[in-house]
C-alpha cells in the first residue's frame, strides 16, 4: 500500500517527498520492531522509495510494551528489530535491566495502557536512558529510514480517559536524583524524548541533519524537533483555528510547523481539502495524514476538479521552496518565525491586533485563506505600503477590500520592497538542481527592493561550518545587484522579473543583455545565477 500510494502521487503528477509510516509497521505496536508480515523487506521498501526520489519516516511512541516474560533468560539477538518479539521483547528487556522506566512511589514500574496493551514509559530525565533510547533508532536508520515522528508523547495514556484514576499522577521520575512526581515532569516529557531522539540520530549519522517531528512540546523544542498541530478534526472549525495556531507556535519559538492537511479525524470533502492545501502550501510542514479507520483523503479521492486545485498549490509550494528555505534560515539565526501574524510586522496598526484569518509567510507574502464553506469571496486587509497581487503582479495599496476567491484561488500578495526567489516546477525537492532560478522584484513606492537568498547542500551539517550561500539581492536606482559568496553553487540560468518597472535595454557587469517586455513586467535572463552580478536597467 505504501508504494501504491507513492506511485499514484507520481502517476497523477503530484509533488511528494516523504511517505510516513504510522503504528501499523510495528509488531503489535512494539516500538523499534518491524512487522515482517506487513513489511517483509523494509530495506527494499526504503530503496525503492529512494529510487523514486522519496524518503521514509517512521512513527515512534514513548510507550514500551510491558513484557517481563523471558526477561531473566532472553539474550538480545543480532538485528533484533527483525526478529519475533512475541516471547521476549528486547527493548523492554534492556530498559528493565538498566532501570530506565518510570516508577510509582513504591518503587515498582508504572504500568499503564497504550497501543501495545500494558505499557511502561521511559524515564527521559535520566541521561543514560536518553542515550539508550537514542541509540535504539538504529533499528530504523539501518533499514533506510530518514526521519522519526515522535507521537503520543504528552504522554498519552488510555487509562486516563475520563479521568478515571490517578494512574500517571502516581508516577515518579528520577529527575537528577530528586525523585519528583509526574506533575513536575509532564511538561518536559516530550521535550526530553525529542532531545533523546535528535541526539541519537546525530550520533548514528553524525554528518546528516536529524529530522524529528513531535506532537507534544515545551519551551526549547525548536532545538530538537519540528512540530505539527496534532490529531485535528476534518472540520471547517479546525481549518479556521489552524491559522492562529500556526502564528502562536511561531511566536512561541517553533517555526518548523504544520498540520495534517484536511484533518485527521472525521469526514471532510473536496472543498475543505482544497482550502486546507491553500493554507499549508506555505507552511514548512505540509502532510496529508488520516486515521486508518476514517475516510481516505489523498488529493485524487474527491475527483479531478479538486485534485487539479491541490496540484496547482503543491506545484506552487515547490516553486516557492527557495523562499521557504531562506525563511527557515532566518528563523534559525534570529528567532523570527516564518509563519507570523500581521501584528508582528505592523505593531502600530490596530487593524492587525485581532486579525486571525490571514497570515504572513515570512515578511514578504501575505495569505488570506478562505476558512468557511461555499464562499467565493474573501475580505482582505493589506497593511501600509505597496502590495502586489501574486498572480497578476498588479500593485495594490493599503486597504480593506472584498476580493474574488473562487475555490481555484487563495488571495496571495507580495510585499512591495521584496524580492521573492522561485525555483522550477518539480515534484521532489532534489529534482532539477541546475534548473533556472527566478527572482521576482516587487519595488516599493521608492522603487527599491531587497531580500536575502539562502542555499546549502540540504542534507549535511556543513552549513554550521559556513558551507552555505547567503546572498543579498537588492534593487535601487534602476540598479539590481546580486552579491555572492565563495560557496560552490551549481551553475544555472537566472531569470529576473521586475514588476512596476520600465526599461528597454540593460547591461550586466558592463555587457548588454536583452530585456523582454511583458504586459506588466520586464524580464532579464542571465546565463549563470551562481555568480555575483550588477545589472543596470536603461
> How does pLDDT run across 200-239, given as a tens digit for each residue?
999 999 999 999 999 999 999 999 999 999 999 999 999 9
pLDDT at 167: 67
Q: Taking each helix axis as running N to C, give the angle between helix 236-251 and helix 270-280, from 0 to 180 degrees, rounded to the nearest 10.
A: 10
Confidence of residue 159 (pLDDT cuts 50, 70, 90): confident
Q: Which of helix, strand or coil describes residue 304?
A: helix
Calculate the CA 283 to chain-centre distance.
7
Q: Which three cell numbers stand for residue 322?
A: 527557495
Is the pLDDT confidence value at 376 over 90? Answer: yes
Please identify which of the residues 61, 123, 151, 456 carries the catalytic annotation.
151
Please identify which of the residues 231, 349, 444, 523 carries the catalytic annotation.
231
47: enclosing H helix or E strand:
helix 42-51
CB atoms under 10 Å from CB of 253, counted, come to 15
Is the pLDDT confidence value at 162 over 90? Answer: no
Q: What's the pLDDT tens digit per position in 434-456? A: 899 999 999 999 999 999 999 99
Choose the weakest-confidence range: 37-51, 65-79, 229-243, 377-391. Answer: 65-79
Q: What's the pLDDT tens digit per position in 464-493? A: 999 999 999 999 999 999 998 768 888 899
Q: What's the pLDDT tens digit per position in 343-374? A: 999 999 999 999 999 999 999 999 999 999 99
pLDDT at 267: 94
Q: Hey, do 339-415 and 418-537 end up sharing a CATH topology, with the first three levels equal?
A: yes
Asked if 154 is an active-site residue, the reply is yes
Asked if 151 is an active-site residue, the reply is yes
Task: Give the dihedral sign, CA 274/212/81/459.
Answer: positive
Cis peptide before 155 (omega within 30 of 0): yes
Please identify which of the residues 24, 35, 142, 154 carries the catalytic annotation.
154
Per the CB < 8 A criterion, the answer to whether 15 and 317 are in contact is yes
Percent of the chain with pLDDT over 70: 97
What mean pLDDT comes out for the span 49-61?
97
- Secondary structure, 3-state, 218-279: CCCHHHCCEEECCCCECCHHHHHHHHHHHHHHHHCCCCCEEEECCCCECCCCHHHHHHHHHH
pLDDT at 164: 40
pLDDT at 160: 62
Give CA–CA dist 282/338, Å, rounded. Answer: 9
pLDDT at 189: 97
Mean pLDDT across the chain, nearest whole number?
94
Confidence of residue 72 (pLDDT cuts 50, 70, 90): low
Let me know the angle formed at the C-alpha of 250 by 444 and 265, rounded to the nearest 5 degrees: 120
Q: Which three cell numbers stand for residue 399?
A: 486597504
Is the pLDDT confidence value at 163 over 50? Answer: no
CB atoms under 10 Å from CB of 132, counted, come to 18
Is the pLDDT confidence value at 293 over 70? Answer: yes
pLDDT at 487: 81
Q: Which three cell numbers stand for residue 17?
A: 517527498
Half-sphere exposure of 416 (CA within 13 A, CB side): 21
pLDDT at 165: 42
Is the pLDDT confidence value at 155 over 60? Answer: yes
Q: Which three cell numbers stand for residue 92?
A: 523492554
Per the CB < 8 A criterion, the answer to whether 402 and 418 are in contact is no
Residue in the structure block whose three cell numbers are 522506566: 101
Give CA–CA dist 245/247, Å, rounded. Answer: 5
Calculate the CA 143 to chain-centre distance.
23
Percent of the chain with pLDDT over 90: 91
Is the pLDDT confidence value at 161 over 60? Answer: no
Q: Which of helix, strand or coil describes residue 187?
A: helix
Confidence of residue 128 (pLDDT cuts 50, 70, 90): very high
Give CA–CA dist 294/264, Å, rounded. Answer: 8
Give CA–CA dist 137/133, Å, rounded. Answer: 7
Q: Where are the domains of the chain?
A: 1-228, 339-415, 418-537
Pairing, β 55-60 against β 147-150: parallel
139's CB contacts (< 8 A; 6+ apart) are 32, 33, 34, 80, 81
pLDDT at 74: 53
Round to the nearest angstrom and report the end-to-end CA distance of the chain: 58
Mention the CATH class of domain 1-228: alpha beta
Asked if 69 is an active-site residue, the reply is no
CATH number of this structure's domain 418-537:
2.60.40.1180
Domain 339-415: which topology? Immunoglobulin-like (2.60.40)
1's CB contacts (< 8 A; 6+ apart) are none
Amino acid at each position: 500500500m505504501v508504494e501504491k500510494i507513492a506511485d499514484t502521487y507520481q502517476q497523477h503528477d503530484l509533488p511528494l517527498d516523504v511517505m510516513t509510516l504510522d503504528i501499523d509497521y510495528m509488531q503489535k505496536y512494539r516500538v523499534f520492531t518491524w512487522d515482517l508480515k506487513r513489511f517483509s523487506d523494509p530495506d527494499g521498501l526504503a530503496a525503492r522509495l529512494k529510487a523514486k526520489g522519496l524518503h521514509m519516516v517512521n512513527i515512534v511512541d514513548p510507550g514500551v510494551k510491558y513484557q517481563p516474560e523471558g526477561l531473566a533468560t532472553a539474550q538480545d539477538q543480532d538485528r533484533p528489530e527483525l526478529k519475533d518479539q512475541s516471547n521476549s521483547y528486547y527493548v523492554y528487556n534492556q530498559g528493565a535491566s538498566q532501570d530506565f522506566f518510570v516508577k510509582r512511589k513504591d518503587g515498582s514500574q508504572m504500568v499503564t495502557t497504550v497501543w501495545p496493551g500494558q505499557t511502561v514509559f521511559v524515564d527521559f530525565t535520566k541521561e543514560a536512558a536518553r542515550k539508550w533510547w537514542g541509540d535504539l533508532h538504529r533499528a530504523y536508520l539501518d533499514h533506510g529510514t530518514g526521519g522519526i515522528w515522535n507521537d503520543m508523547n504528552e504522554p498519552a495514556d488510555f487509562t486516563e480517559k475520563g479521568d478515571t484514576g490517578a494512574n500517571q499522577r502516581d508516577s515518579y521520575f528520577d529527575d537528577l536524583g530528586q525523585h519528583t512526581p509526574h506533575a513536575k515532569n509532564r511538561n518536559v516529557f516530550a521535550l526530553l524524548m525529542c532531545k533523546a531522539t535528535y541526539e541519537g540520530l546525530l550520533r548514528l549519522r553524525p554528518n546528516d541533519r536529524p529530522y524529528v517531528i513531535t506532537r507534544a512540546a515545551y519551551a526549547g523544542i525548536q532545538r530538537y524537533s519540528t512540530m505539527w498541530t496534532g490529531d485535528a478534526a476534518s472540520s471547517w472549525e479546525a481549518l479556521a483555528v489552524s491559522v492562529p495556531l500556526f502564528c502562536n507556535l511561531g511566536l512561541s519559538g517553533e517555526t518548523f510547523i504544520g498540520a495534517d492537511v484536511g484533518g485527521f479525524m472525521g469526514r471532510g470533502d473536496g472543498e475543505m481539502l482544497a482550502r486546507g492545501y491553500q493554507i499549508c502550501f506555505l507552511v514548512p510542514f505540509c502532510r496529508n495524514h488520516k486515521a486508518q479507520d476514517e475516510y481516505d483523503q489523498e488529493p485524487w479521492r474527491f475527483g479531478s476538479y479538486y485534485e487539479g486545485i491541490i496540484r496547482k498549490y503543491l506545484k506552487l509550494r515547490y516553486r516557492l521552496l527557495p523562499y521557504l528555505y531562506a525563511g527557515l534560515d532566518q528563523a534559525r539565526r534570529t528567532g523570527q518565525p516564518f509563519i507570523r501574524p500581521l501584528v508582528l510586522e505592523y505593531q502600530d496598526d490596530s487593524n492587525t491586533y485581532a486579525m486571525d484569518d490571514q497570515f504572513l509567510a515570512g515578511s514578504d507574502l501575505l495569505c488570506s485563506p478562505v476558512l468557511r464553506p461555499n464562499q467565493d469571496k474573501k475580505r482582505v486587509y493589506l497593511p501600509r505600503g505597496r502590495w502586489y497581487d501574486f498572480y497578476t503582479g498588479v500593485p495594490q495599496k493599503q486597504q480593506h477590500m472584498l476580493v474574488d476567491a473562487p475555490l481555484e484561488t487563495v488571495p496571495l500578495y507580495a510585499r512591495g520592497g521584496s524580492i521573492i526567489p522561485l525555483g522550477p516546477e518539480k515534484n521532489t525537492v532534489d529534482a532539477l538542481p541546475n534548473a533556472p532560478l527566478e527572482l521576482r522584484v516587487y519595488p516599493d513606492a521608492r522603487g527599491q527592493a531587497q531580500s536575502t537568498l539562502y542555499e546549502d547542500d540540504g542534507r549535511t551539517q556543513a552549513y554550521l561550518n559556513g558551507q552555505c550561500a547567503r546572498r543579498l539581492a537588492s534593487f535601487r536606482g534602476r540598479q539590481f545587484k546580486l552579491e555572492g559568496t565563495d560557496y560552490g553553487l551549481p551553475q544555472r540560468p537566472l531569470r529576473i522579473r521586475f514588476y512596476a518597472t520600465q526599461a528597454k535595454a540593460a547591461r550586466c557587469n558592463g555587457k548588454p543583455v536583452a530585456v523582454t517586455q511583458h504586459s506588466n513586467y520586464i524580464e532579464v535572463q542571465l546565463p549563470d545565477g551562481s555568480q555575483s552580478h550588477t545589472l543596470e536597467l536603461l
